[in-house]
């Protein structure tokens, strides 16, 4: 008697639990779709009107779409005399060097901040955050004077150096978050098993911090790629990058500006999509940003 | 087979606090299983890391078979440490984890594969090659960590709290596995533990450390039969200590005079120590005094009585049947078997 009474209840409870699980599961899928749709809406949708601009010839109020189309703007972008591709290459080169330098400097700095307690650590953290907090224009005016004296103004190395001012803090902070969750005993274990210092870095440390490096590098690349004020002031018009070129066309020729914008945005979107799997919420690197 | 000698080994982390390891001299026998035992924070893991080369000693020396190895980096020492939390590399498969040490030694791929398979058989996890560490239970991870260390045939195997993260039944299994493999391969093995029972069951010799200092280095039974201080006796579950004066094989205490041929001191102020299992109630033989039973606990396998002898209280662990013979408040003769009494120097000298 007792058995028959208990059994259906237990089965019932199991059924409810299973149903509950299923519902939660479907919520997760819905959430993912909302996320993807949102991402597309905010990232891709703004590019659509830009693209429409770039192929329009006549587009006046109140027409929803251009009344006449033309490939003029794209021809202008591609023709050699405007050297858009050259400038794009320049911009990419600067951004890549800036990213590489940010990794080289930011990873060790982040390791020190994330793993060790030392005197003046708070001060160092504030110094690293300062370039993000203080308006860039104020900083760069001071730097400009210094760079002129050092012969770094109006040159690509100067521009690369000044781009590090906003990129390094991001790289360092992301990496300090990664290292705060990192167990250095893994490195000791590898050494003990016979791995040299270098092999340990390559086989143990790097795979563990790789997602963080990707996220930090992404920040660095995009910040450098879209930098306007710093490039303008330190480059002094001698160093041309896409943002500078784009800004010049915004007033004079919206069609070309539209075409340039597409060229400008595409690499950022591609980089973002390539690294999207490292940007998921349960990633330690993203968690690190949350810790700031 | 490697003999490990520590001489004057000292580690100071912070000038303001006492040394983590203080002037440690230890002769770890070749091919034997030695336990570093002590409460947490006594410097056992620090000592182990110094042997492995993962921590630089402040002073002193470590030698393997008589040659100092301080200048040799950890990867070339052949002293492999297995950490308490296993630390299987999460990005690698089980086979890659176990083969890691051989890969670092540039052994060719085919040979690594065969030896990994052999190792998995040895730790009784055959067919686990392609799994990832997170798919394994704690006990399985522990065995993989052991296999990963053993595959390189280390000179010295260092195990940090090898059983502490395991459930009770897994612990017995693991203990047997470690013992069996260690005997088979004859590797000089040092393991760290805070659990005296674990040390006693597993080790050939135990080095007991308090506050970074070596207290006693001996075979397991010596810690029960002839501990060198009251603290050591207490750490090994001793509870009965009665101060007195020792002279000519007899110790005179506040509750009487006892014959005690076994002692750590020649004479003078001393402490009579007797393990609770050696205290018998009821039988009036030699070395007896009258006591009054204050309380008792029935544990099942045994019974524990607390008995007052004048101002002194002693504990007796007896056959469980004795709870039927005595009631609380009864007067009973309490006997200290003279061969089980161990006379230690006064406690104050060790403070």
Residue scoring higher pLDDT (A59 or A240): A240
What was the pLDDT predicted at A124?
Answer: 87
The CATH number given to whatever domain includes residue B176 is: 3.40.50.300
**Contacts of residue A151, Cβ cutoff 8 Å, sequence gap at least 6:** none
What was the pLDDT predicted at B65?
Answer: 93
pLDDT tens per residue, range A87-98: 888 999 999 999
Closest residue of chain A to B79, computed from CA coordinates: A192
Residue A192 to residue B74, Cβ atoms within 8 A: yes
Secondary structure letter of residue B283 according to DSSP: -
Any idea where the domains of chain A sit in the sequence?
12-45, 76-291
Residues B81 and B187 occupy one common structural domain: yes
pLDDT tens per residue, range A200-222: 999 999 999 998 999 899 889 99
Considering only CA atoms, give the Rg of chain B: 24
**Domain end point (choices B175, B191, B225):** B225
Give the predicted TM-score (pTM) of the model.
Answer: 0.78
Work out the average pLDDT over A255-269.
82
pLDDT band at A25 (very low <50, low <70, confident <90, very high): low
Residues B118 and B77 occupy one common structural domain: yes
| A-chain residues near B101 (CB < 8 A) | 193-194
State the Cα–Cα distance between residues A288 and B7, nearest whole angstrom.
Answer: 45
Between helix B109-122 and helix B138-150 the angle, nearest 10°, is 130
Q: Is residue B232 included in any domain, yes or no?
A: no
Q: Which of B46, B54, B75 to mutate to test the interface with A (most CBs of A within 10 A)?
A: B75
Q: Which residues of B touch A (CB under 8 A)?
A: 49, 52-54, 73-76, 79-81, 83, 85, 87, 89-91, 100-101, 104-105, 148-149, 152
Residue scoring higher pLDDT (A292 or B207): B207
What was the pLDDT predicted at B114?
Answer: 95
> Which residues pair with residue B297 across a beta bridge?
B304
Contact indicator for A166, A129 with CB cutoff of 8 Å: no
Residues B269 and B322 occupy one common structural domain: yes
| B-chain residues near A208 (CB < 8 A) | 90-91
| B-chain residues near A282 (CB < 8 A) | none
Residues B19 and B148 occupy one common structural domain: yes
Residues of chain B with pLDDT under 70: 347-351
**Of A12-26, A32-46, A79-93, B337-351, where does the model show the most confidence?**
A79-93
The CATH number given to whatever domain includes residue B245 is: 2.40.50.100
Nearest to A194 among B89, B90, B104 (CB): B104
Residues B79 and B209 occupy one common structural domain: yes
pLDDT band at A238 (very low <50, low <70, confident <90, very high): confident
First-to-last alpha carbon distance for chain B, in angstroms, is: 38
Residues B275 and B313 occupy one common structural domain: yes
Q: What topology is assigned to A76-291 in CATH?
A: MetI-like fold (1.10.3720)
For chains A and B, CB pairs below 8 A equal 58
Residues B108 and B161 occupy one common structural domain: yes
Instruction: Share the mean pLDDT of chain B.
Output: 91
Residue A185 to residue B83, Cβ atoms within 8 A: yes
Work out the average pLDDT over A150-156.
89
When divided into structural domains, chain B yields a total of: 2
**Domain end point (choices B189, B204, B225):** B225
Residue A58 dihedral angles phi and psi, to the nearest 5°: -125, 125
Nearest to B75 among A191, A204, A207 (CB): A191
Q: What is the extent of the structural domain holding B246?
A: 238-346
pLDDT(A292) > 80:
no
Residues B79 and B169 occupy one common structural domain: yes
State the Cα–Cα distance between residues B336 and B247, nearest whole angstrom.
Answer: 18
pLDDT band at A143 (very low <50, low <70, confident <90, very high): confident
- ipTM score assigned to the predicted complex: 0.84
**Contacts of residue B67, Cβ cutoff 8 Å, sequence gap at least 6:** none
Q: Which of B104, B134, B152, B161 to mutate to test the interface with A (most CBs of A within 10 A)?
A: B104
* Element counts in chain B: helices (H) and strands (E): 9, 20
What was the pLDDT predicted at B136?
Answer: 93
Q: Is residue B310 included in any domain, yes or no?
A: yes
Residues B201 and B247 occupy one common structural domain: no
Residues B144 and B33 occupy one common structural domain: yes
pLDDT tens per residue, range A56-83: 877 777 777 777 788 888 888 777 777 8
What was the pLDDT predicted at A135?
Answer: 80
State the Cα–Cα distance between residues B294 and B351, nearest whole angstrom.
Answer: 31
Grouping H, G, I as helix, E, B as strand and the rest as coil, residue B316 is: strand
Secondary structure letter of residue A236 according to DSSP: T
Closest residue of chain B to A209, computed from CA coordinates: B91
**Domain end point (choices B179, B203, B225):** B225
Considering only CA atoms, give the Rg of chain A: 26
Q: Is residue B47 included in any domain, yes or no?
A: yes
Angle at A177 between CA A174 and CA A183, to 5 degrees: 130
State the Cα–Cα distance between residues B307 and B312, nearest whole angstrom.
Answer: 8
First-to-last alpha carbon distance for chain A, in angstroms, is: 61
């Amino acid at each position: 008697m007792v058995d028959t009474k208990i059994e259906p209840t237990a089965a019932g409870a199991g059924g409810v639990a299973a149903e509950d699980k299923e519902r939660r599961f479907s919520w997760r899928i819905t959430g993912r779709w909302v996320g993807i749709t949102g991402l597309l809406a905010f990232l891709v949708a703004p590019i659509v009107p830009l693209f429409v601009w770039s192929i329009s010839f006549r587009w006046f109020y109140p027409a929803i779409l251009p009344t006449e189309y033309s490939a003029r703007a794209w021809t202008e972008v591609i023709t050699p005399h405007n050297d858009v591709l050259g400038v794009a290459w320049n911009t990419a080169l600067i951004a890549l060097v800036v990213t590489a330098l940010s990794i080289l400097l930011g990873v060790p700095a982040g390791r020190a901040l994330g793993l060790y307690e030392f005197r003046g650590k708070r001060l160092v953290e504030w110094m690293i955050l300062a370039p993000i907090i203080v308006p860039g224009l104020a900083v760069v005016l001071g730097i400009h004077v210094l760079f002129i004296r050092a012969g770094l103004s109006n040159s690509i190395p100067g521009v690369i150096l000044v781009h590090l001012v906003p990129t390094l803090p991001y790289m360092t902070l992301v990496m300090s978050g990664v290292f705060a969750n990192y167990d250095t005993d893994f490195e000791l274990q590898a050494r003990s098993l016979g791995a040299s210092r270098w092999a340990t870095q390559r086989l143990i440390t790097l795979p563990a911090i790789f997602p963080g490096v990707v996220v930090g590098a992404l920040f660095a690349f995009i910040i450098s790629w879209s930098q306007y004020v710093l490039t303008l002031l330190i480059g002094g018009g001698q160093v041309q990058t896409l943002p500078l070129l784009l800004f010049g066309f915004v007033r004079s020729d919206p069609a070309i500006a539209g075409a340039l914008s597409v060229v400008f945005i595409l690499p950022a979107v591609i980089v973002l999509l390539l690294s999207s799997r490292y940007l998921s919420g349960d990633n330690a690197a993203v968690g690190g940003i949350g810790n700031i | 087979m490697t003999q490990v000698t520590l001489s004057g080994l000292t580690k100071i982390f912070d000038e303001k606090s006492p040394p983590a390891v203080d002037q440690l001299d230890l002769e770890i026998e070749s091919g034997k299983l030695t336990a570093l035992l002590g409460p947490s924070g006594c410097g056992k893991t620090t000592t182990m890391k110094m042997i492995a080369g993962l921590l630089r000693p402040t002073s002193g020396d470590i030698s393997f078979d008589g040659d100092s190895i301080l200048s040799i980096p950890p990867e070339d020492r052949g002293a492999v440490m297995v950490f308490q939390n296993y630390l299987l590399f999460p990005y690698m498969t089980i086979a890659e984890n176990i083969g890691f040490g051989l890969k670092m030694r540039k052994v060719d791929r085919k040979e690594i594969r065969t030896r990994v398979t052999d190792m998995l058989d040895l730790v009784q996890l055959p067919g686990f090659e392609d799994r990832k560490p997170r798919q394994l239970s704690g006990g399985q991870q522990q065995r993989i960590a052991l296999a990963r260390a053993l595959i390189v045939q280390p000179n010295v195997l260092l195990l940090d709290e090898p059983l502490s993260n395991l459930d009770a039944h897994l612990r017995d299994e693991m203990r047997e596995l470690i013992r069996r493999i260690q005997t088979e391969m004859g590797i000089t093995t040092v393991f760290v533990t805070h659990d005296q029972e674990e040390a006693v069951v597993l080790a050939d010799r135990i080095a007991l450390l308090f506050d970074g200092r070596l207290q006693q280095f001996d075979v397991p039974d010596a810690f029960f039969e002839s501990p060198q201080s009251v603290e050591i006796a207490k750490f090994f579950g001793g509870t009965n200590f009665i101060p007195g004066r020792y002279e000519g094989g007899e110790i005179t205490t506040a509750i009487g005079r006892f014959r005690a041929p076994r002692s750590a001191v020649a004479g003078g102020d001393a402490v009579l120590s007797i393990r609770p299992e050696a205290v018998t109630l009821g039988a009036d033989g030699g070395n007896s005094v009258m006591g009054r039973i204050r309380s008792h606990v029935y544990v099942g396998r045994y019974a524990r009585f607390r008995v007052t002898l004048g101002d002194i209280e002693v504990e007796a662990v007896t056959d469980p049947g004795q709870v039927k013979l005595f009631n609380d408040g009864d007067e009973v003769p309490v006997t200290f078997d003279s061969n089980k009494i161990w006379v230690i120097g006064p406690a104050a000298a060790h403070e």
